[in-house]
């Protein structure tokens, strides 16, 4: 991914920064849309994965919708041009002012997560003279087989409506002229790499779809969420995920009624591989048991390893500086940042060419949940970003 010209351009930049390959992003979007359009599927981009302005504009120009989990995400989506009729608003804790803002923009649907939330949206919509279109987010109790912190579809998770609450939901909806039930919403978790999980999800969705149909509800939308995982180990070998197989599974196993649309909320799968965190080596500390590379980027720039023990491929980019004839001797390092926390570690026992102060390091597959989770802890500078067309 990083040829000599790109690395030379990086050398002139102040680090750390996020590098975005917008050409790869466009290719990913094109592939996803090609495969989804075979079945008439609808895609909403999950803004929580990355709301970098230029990244958002490329995604918006592709014509897909937006999946938002805060009022500010709804407003951002509208600001950059996402059509309100393609915006969905999810989240287990929507504040009143966020709901009112979404109502004001006449968004496509609220993904509702509790009986109490139905009452709140119903009341606010009534006072605003609006009819809120809603989808019930049902907890399917499907194990995503992923990290426990990014699993959302089990009974023990805070997300979604429990199955025994569905009758109460219908009673509540009937009591409000300001609520219109248009569909069902599901999401089992993130970074799902075992596609059999989605087969299990389809079985559950079919059950709930039939349950509502038997009670006279002809629902327009089946929103199956997202969660499709990416290849963190070999980003160059698999820069674009297997959208073909992903959408095939839902076409094969999801039993749609004739009038129903299928909607997806993809984030990580669209943006992860187009982003890398570029950093410099500040110091090298060699010891008896451990060797450390200390970078100028830390958990303030990329939280995932500290938060989820997430793996990211780590590469040295500046090998030509010190080893003109090749890569040179390989050494195992713990790659850490400068933050005053022991959890500020990107990887342990990472095999890299012998490194020196000033070497460039790339932390790959950082386009999702990288920049958006950055913080000013330790009074760090705001993170910068560079795009491929700026250094072409």
Q: Which two tokens stand for residue 237?
A: 């070998």
Specify the CATH number for 4-17+273-391; select among 3.40.50.1100, 3.40.50.2300, 2.60.120.10, 2.40.37.10: 2.40.37.10
User: pLDDT at residue 109 above 60?
Assistant: yes
User: pLDDT at residue 316 above 90?
Assistant: yes
Query: pLDDT at position 157, please?
Result: 59
User: pLDDT at residue 158 above 70?
Assistant: no
% of the chain residues with pLDDT over 70: 93
In whole angstroms, how far apart are CA 167 and each of 105, 110, 164, 212? Answer: 30, 19, 7, 10
pLDDT band at 212 (very low <50, low <70, confident <90, very high): very high
Mean pLDDT of the chain: 93
Q: What is the largest CA-CA distance in the chain?
A: 76
Closest CA to 225 of 282, 169, 150, 280: 150
Does this model's pTM top 0.75? My answer is yes
Domain locations along the chain: 4-17+273-391, 22-272
User: pLDDT at residue 319 above 70?
Assistant: no
pLDDT digits (tens, 9 = 90+) for 116-143: 999 999 999 999 999 999 999 998 877 5
pLDDT digits (tens, 9 = 90+) for 224-233: 999 999 999 9
User: pLDDT at residue 193 above 50?
Assistant: yes
Domain 22-272 listed as CATH 3.20.20.10: yes
Sequence-separated (6 or more) residues with CB below 8 Å from residue 287 = none
Closest CA to 332 of 293, 281, 283, 374: 293
Query: pLDDT at position 337, please?
Result: 98
């Amino acid at each position: 991914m990083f040829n000599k010209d790109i690395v030379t351009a990086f050398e002139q930049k102040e680090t750390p920064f996020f590098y975005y390959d917008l050409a790869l992003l466009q290719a990913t979007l094109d592939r996803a849309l090609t495969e989804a359009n075979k079945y008439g599927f609808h895609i909403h981009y999950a803004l929580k994965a990355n709301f970098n302005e230029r990244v958002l504009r490329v995604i918006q120009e592709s014509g897909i919708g937006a999946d938002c989990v805060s009022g500010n995400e709804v407003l951002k989506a509208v600001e950059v041009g996402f059509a309100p009729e393609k915006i969905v608003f999810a989240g287990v804790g929507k504040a009143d002012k966020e709901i009112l803002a979404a109502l004001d923009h006449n968004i496509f649907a609220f993904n509702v997560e509790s009986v109490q939330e139905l009452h709140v949206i119903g009341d606010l919509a009534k006072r605003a003279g609006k009819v809120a279109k809603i989808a019930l987010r049902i907890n399917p109790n499907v194990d995503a087989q992923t990290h426990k912190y990014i699993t959302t579809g089990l009974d023990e998770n805070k997300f979604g409506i429990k199955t025994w609450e569905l009758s109460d939901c219908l009673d509540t909806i009937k009591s409000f002229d300001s609520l219109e039930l248009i569909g069902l919403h599901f999401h089992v978790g993130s970074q799902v790499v075992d596609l059999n999980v989605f087969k299990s999800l389809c079985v559950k969705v079919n059950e709930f779809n039939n349950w509502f149909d038997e009670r006279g509800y002809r629902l327009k939308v089946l929103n199956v969420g997202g969660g499709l995982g990416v290849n963190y180990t070999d980003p160059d070998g698999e820069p674009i995920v297997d959208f073909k197989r992903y959408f095939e599974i839902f076409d094969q196993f999801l039993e749609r009624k004739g009038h129903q649309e299928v909607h997806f909320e993809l984030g990580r799968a669209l943006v992860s591989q187009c982003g890398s965190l570029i950093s410099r080596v500040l110091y090298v500390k060699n010891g008896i048991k451990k060797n450390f590379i200390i970078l100028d980027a830390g958990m303030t720039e990329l939280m995932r390893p500290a938060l989820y023990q997430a793996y990211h491929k780590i590469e040295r980019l500046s090998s030509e500086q010190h080893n003109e004839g090749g890569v040179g001797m390989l050494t195992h390092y713990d790659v850490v940042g400068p933050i005053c926390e022991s959890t500020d570690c990107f990887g342990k026992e990472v095999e890299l060419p012998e490194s020196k102060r000033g070497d460039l390091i790339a932390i790959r597959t950082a386009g999702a949940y990288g920049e958006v989770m950055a913080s000013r802890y330790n009074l760090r500078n705001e993170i910068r970003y560079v795009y491929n067309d700026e250094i072409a």
